[in-house]
Structure 1
């Protein structure tokens, strides 16, 4: 039976995921700016019309918007998307100008910009470290316990006791490494290397495709080799080891994101699989209904997503700013205002196009287009 969370639970859970994560992202920018003596003109908590607020002794206006979904920070002197010097900035008194974002050296500006995504990764690492402390670290060697009849592994002649050493030329250390590799490569041909009785055996396999449906009716296309592992080993993790385990897990998730994005760009994965805010809202409600553990783990995943996406070298995103700062550091002078202006316009157009695409995909996943086709038919 399909269980669907109510609309109110979905909206609430979405706000509790996105709102705090965007807020801490902006707080990362703000705190880094504070360290370098940059004045913040405003820090908005939520979007839309200001419903309440106050100005602190540093002159920062803390505004509360009616839509509590994150916020933004506006630094003094950050007057245009391309951070161009303006007549207004040049007219500022010298002392006040030194407290603006534009006046700082490129390395300080880069740190301030990078601080937002870094905080998102830190939030995820803290959450994953907590899971490691609470539940331990599951470790399973990449040894074949059994193969599923008719599966890719069985057709390739893999046997019980074979130890997988590499997939597609990539080293495999744990059973999870193997599962992660296959999961995002349904239907792809790859090479699998195993150690059998002390000798290396290589086989070509076509990763199988498994369609899974969860309790909410969502369908997923998962790649499977058809290999069963042995008994998992749960290792207790101490306070000092937990952050290392969390950093490793975060790196694995980011690696999978990079590979998945590469598959979409290369055409090996359909753009229809891209989801947007509506999908996040839907999943948020579903995970909250499954329990606190599932919901908190989703927060970690979304936080990693926010950090990763913001570091992409796309103008308008933090990564785009960092790209221009890197060029500025090499050239010893900023990129020309005209180039920056056109780049930011192009970046804005690309982001708007992507948002339109993922919203279209989200509505399709909700069945809107099928329902409309049924009405028209």
Structure 2
């Protein structure tokens, strides 16, 4: 079993998370600059300042000792709920005009959304770079061969069947079939096919496979048990590569939504939720496999960072956007008391989630099994 080592794991984690947090917060910062909002601080990391400087605009750029996130603090954004305070109301008119709270709701919404959007854009550019460099893998959604004893064989799928849809979702490429099945081990679904020019529908239970990689990580994956038809990598132009990168980001986001829905409904175990420790472990593993694998991981983490931040949870960007949407409809903001309680609840929920995923991560590393063995 390969092990990248502690030093490489820490280095890879910092190399992956640091730039992504910087890009995310830079999205907020640049959007704020565009609307004339003064930024008081731009921090990578939390906690006490390790190093920093103040630019000519009065923005303090700094590094915190805990490299697990970052933030931009705009003038007038004086509390988690971005509620105006007496200190803000007492500012001179010229200074107040350059604060976050002085801007109309649509501008504040753009500033908040800019962070996740930049994460998606960065991932799309990385994936577009791969498509332009290596070409695009293409194969029609046609059954090449059927593995004996597989879920496909049990359902009656045959070589040459064209898969039109699974579970009501259209299949445009063979990769769509593989991705759909991979996220749904053991699920019952219907497959719409075309056989000898005639449409048909087949009931199927997606098979389950447990795979182990070279680092000892186990994955429970869905498998249909069908082979791909002849596959080719075709070169694409730069514009086509950009389209491909954007399409792949959309597919990954859709997969994240599917996985989240499965966890909420109990079809997927909450044990699969991971936190910073697991990200660090995977970062080290992917860096040990080479730069293409590591850069691909950065794209994936960037997409997930953008996706998670858009969830309508107070304290996240999506929570702010949710309140801005209410403000736009009501023509007035939600009362400060409601926002304060919502953001306190959001903070408590996020802290509880961090503890839970850290507990999961330690279990993934075998800590609890080891302790149980010592106690036993």
Residue matched to 1:83: 82
Residue matched to 2:233: 234
State the secondary structure of the residue aligned to 1:186: coil
Residue matched to 1:130: 129
> In terms of mean alpha carbon deviation, does 259-268 or 351-360 score higher?
351-360
Runs of 4+ more than 4 Å apart = 67-70
Question: Once the 2 structures are TM-superposed, how far is the Cα of residue 73 of structure 1 from its aligned partner?
Answer: 1.1
Deviations 1:18-66 (A, max 9, x none): 0110011111111110011100111123333223322222111122334
Residue matched to 1:243: 242
Deviations 1:324-345 (A, max 9, x none): 0010000000001111111111
Q: Does 1:353 align with 2:364?
A: no
Deviations 1:97-154 (A, max 9, x none): 0000000000000000001001111110110010000011111001111100000110
State the secondary structure of the residue aligned to 2:71: strand
Q: Does 1:118 align with 2:117?
A: yes
Residue matched to 2:13: 14
Residue matched to 1:376: 375
Change (3 A) 1:259 1:227: same
Cα distance between partner residues in 1 of 2:297 and 2:35:
33
After TM superposition, the structure 1 = structure 2 runs for residues 103-114 of structure 1, keeping only pairs within 5 Å, are 103-114=102-113
After TM superposition, the structure 1 = structure 2 runs for residues 92-103 of structure 1, keeping only pairs within 5 Å, are 92-103=91-102
- Check the 8 A contact 1:20/1:70 in 2, yes or no: no
State the secondary structure of the residue aligned to 1:223: strand
Question: Once the 2 structures are TM-superposed, how far is the Cα of residue 67 of structure 1 from its aligned partner?
Answer: 4.3
State the secondary structure of the residue aligned to 2:373: helix
Q: Does 1:260 align with 2:282?
A: no
- Check the 8 A contact 1:363/1:369 in 2, yes or no: yes
Residue matched to 2:61: 62
Question: Once the 2 structures are TM-superposed, how far is the Cα of residue 233 of structure 1 from its aligned partner?
Answer: 2.0
> In terms of mean alpha carbon deviation, does 156-165 or 10-19 score higher?
156-165
Residue matched to 1:280: 279
Question: Unpaired segments of 5 or more residues in structure 2?
Answer: none
Cα distance between partner residues in 1 of 2:215 and 2:292:
18
Residue matched to 1:332: 331
Question: Once the 2 structures are TM-superposed, how far is the Cα of residue 68 of structure 1 from its aligned partner?
Answer: 4.7
State the secondary structure of the residue aligned to 1:231: coil
Residue matched to 1:316: 315
Deviations 1:162-184 (A, max 9, x none): 11111112111110111111001
Cα distance between partner residues in 2 of 1:237 and 1:63:
41
Deviations 1:210-252 (A, max 9, x none): 0100000000001000000111121211111111000000000
Cα distance between partner residues in 2 of 1:118 and 1:238:
24
> In terms of mean alpha carbon deviation, does 50-59 or 177-186 score higher?
50-59
Cα distance between partner residues in 2 of 1:176 and 1:278:
30
Q: Does 1:74 align with 2:73?
A: yes
Cα distance between partner residues in 1 of 2:195 and 2:248:
29
- Check the 8 A contact 1:186/1:222 in 2, yes or no: yes
Question: Once the 2 structures are TM-superposed, how far is the Cα of residue 74 of structure 1 from its aligned partner?
Answer: 0.7
Question: Unpaired segments of 5 or more residues in structure 1?
Answer: none
Cα distance between partner residues in 1 of 2:189 and 2:354:
33
TM normalised by structure 1 equals 0.98
> In terms of mean alpha carbon deviation, does 232-241 or 301-310 score higher?
232-241
State the secondary structure of the residue aligned to 1:48: strand
- Check the 8 A contact 2:21/2:44 in 1, yes or no: no
Cα distance between partner residues in 2 of 1:244 and 1:256:
18
Deviations 1:170-211 (A, max 9, x none): 111110111111001100111112111111121111100001
- How many residues align? The count is 376
Deviations 1:332-359 (A, max 9, x none): 0000111111111111111111111111
State the secondary structure of the residue aligned to 1:43: strand
State the secondary structure of the residue aligned to 1:79: coil
Cα distance between partner residues in 2 of 1:45 and 1:18:
10
Q: Does 1:222 align with 2:226?
A: no
RMSD, aligned α-carbons: 1.0
Cα distance between partner residues in 1 of 2:200 and 2:51:
68
Cα distance between partner residues in 2 of 1:114 and 1:355:
23
